[in-house]
Amino acid sequence: MSDNQQTRAGVLFAIAAYTMWGIAPIYFKALTFIPAAEILMHRVVWSVLVLVLLIVGLKSIGKVQSALRSPRVILTLFVAGILLAGNWLLFIWAVNNDHLLEASLGYYINPLINVFLGRLFLGERLNRVQQLAVAIAMIGVGLLVISYGQLPWIALTLASSFSIYGLLRKQVAVDSMPGLFIETSMMLPAALIYWLFFASDTANLSQNSLSLNALLLFAGVLTTAPLLCFTAAARRIKYSTLGMFQYIGPSLMFLLAILVYDEPMSEARLLTFALVWSALAMYTYDSVNRMRKERKIKRQAQRPV
C-alpha cells in the first residue's frame, strides 16, 4: 500500500473511531443503574470474547504469539492496558453522573496533548497554517478551562491518559487487533475477580431480561470497534494529525450533553465549539492541499522525460 493510500485509510479509520466514541454516551446513559466499575467489567469480558472470535476467524493467532515473544511489547501493552482501563472507568462514571460536558472538555484538550507528545517524543513538526490551527484550538479550550473557575480534573485525567495510551500504542510494532486483545486479556483477571466478589445482582445474567443481557453483551462490540479503528489510524498517520480528528468525538458529546441530556451551556462553551471546528477545518484544508501537492510532484517525477 502506497503512502497516500495509507494516509487515506488512516483518516477514514480516525473518523470512524471518533464518531463511535462521540455517540457512546447514549449507550452508557442506558446503564446508569449499574455501577461504573461493573460496566467496565462487562466491557473487558465481552471485548475479550469478541476479539478471540475475530482473531481466530481472521487467522491472526500468529501475530499474537509473535507479540508475546517480546518482553518490551508485553510491558508496553500492559502499561497501555492500565491507562485504557482507567480512562474507560472515569469516562463511564463522568457520563453517568452528568459530567458529559467535562468529559467532552477532556477530549477537546486531548489533541493538544497529542501534538505536544508528538513533538516531544516523535520529532513531528507543524507548518505555519497547522500551528495557527492549533493555536485557535488552544484559545477555545482555554476559554472552557477559564469558564470552570477551577481545575477540571476529570477533563485533564481523561485527556492525559488517552494521549499517553495512543503514544504507547504507536511505539510498538503490533497490529491493532492483536495488541488490543493482549491489553484486554491482561485486564481480564481483575474483571473476573470483580464479577465473582463485588458485582451487583445485574451481573447474574440468568436473572436479567433478554434486552438487558443484549445491552451488556454489546459492550464488547462498542469497546472493540472504535479502538481497533483508532489503533489502525495511529499506525498510518502522523500523531499530530490523528489528534486533530479527536474533535469529532467531543463535539458529538457536546451536542448530546446540551440537546439531549440538558446539561447547562455557557457562552464560553458555545464559542469554544465554534473555535475548535474552525481550527479543524483549517488544519484539514491545509493537510488536503499538502497531500495533493505531494501527489502532483510524484506524478511529475514518474512521467517519462
Burial class (CB in 10 A: 0-12, 13-18, 19+), 272: buried
Q: What is the pLDDT of residues 251-305, one digit of tens each?
A: 899 899 999 999 988 777 778 778 877 887 887 777 777 767 777 777 777 666 5
| 74 confidence band (pLDDT: 50, 70, 90) | very high
Spatial contact of 218 and 79, defined as CB atoms under 8 Å apart: no
| CA pair distance 179, 172, nearest whole angstrom | 9
Spatial separation of the C-alpha atoms in residues 178 and 121, rounded to whole Å = 24
Specify the pLDDT at position 1. Answer: 57
Q: Return the pLDDT at 240.
A: 64
pLDDT computed for residue 3 by the predictor: 67
| pLDDT given for residue 25 in this prediction | 95
d(CA 275, CA 269): 10
Angle (CA) 218 221 226, round 5°: 135
CA distances (Å), origin 10, targets 46, 76, 198: 26, 22, 40
Local confidence band at 148 (pLDDT 50, 70, 90 cut-offs): low
Mean pLDDT for 228-245 is: 77
Contacts of 148 (CB under 8 A, 6+ apart): 102, 105
- Record the cell numbers describing residue 50, joined without a space: 469478541
Is residue 162's pLDDT more than 60?
A: yes
pLDDT at 243: 65
Poorest-pLDDT segment among 43-47, 48-52, 188-192, 264-268:
264-268
- Nine cell digits for residue 175: 497490529
CB-count burial class (<10 Å; 0-12, 13-18, 19+) for 289: exposed
Long-range residue pairs from 187-195, CB within 8 A, at least 24 positions apart, any chain: 187/44, 187/81, 187/84, 187/85, 188/44, 188/45, 188/48, 190/44, 190/85, 191/40, 191/41, 191/44, 191/45, 192/45, 194/37, 194/38, 194/41, 195/41, 195/45
Q: Which residues contact 16 (CB under 8 A, 6 or more apart)?
A: 226, 229
Type and span of the H or E element at 148: helix 128-148
Is the pTM value of this prediction over 0.85? no
Non-local (6+) Cβ contacts of 164 within 8 A are 83, 117
Lowest-confidence pick of 9-18, 128-137, 179-188: 128-137
Q: How far apart are the C-alpha atoms of 252 and 76, rounded to whole Å?
A: 31
Tell me 206's DSSP state. Answer: G
Q: How far apart are CA 260 and CA 7, in angstroms?
A: 35
Which one is predicted more confidently, 193 or 149?
193
Report how far residue 261's alpha carbon sits from residue 251's, in angstroms, rounded to the nearest whole number: 14
Residues 229-243 as b or e (16 or more Cβ within 10 Å = b): bbbbbbbbbbbbbbb
Q: What's the CA gap between 66 and 156, in Å, rounded?
A: 35
Name the H helices within 149-209: 153-171, 176-197
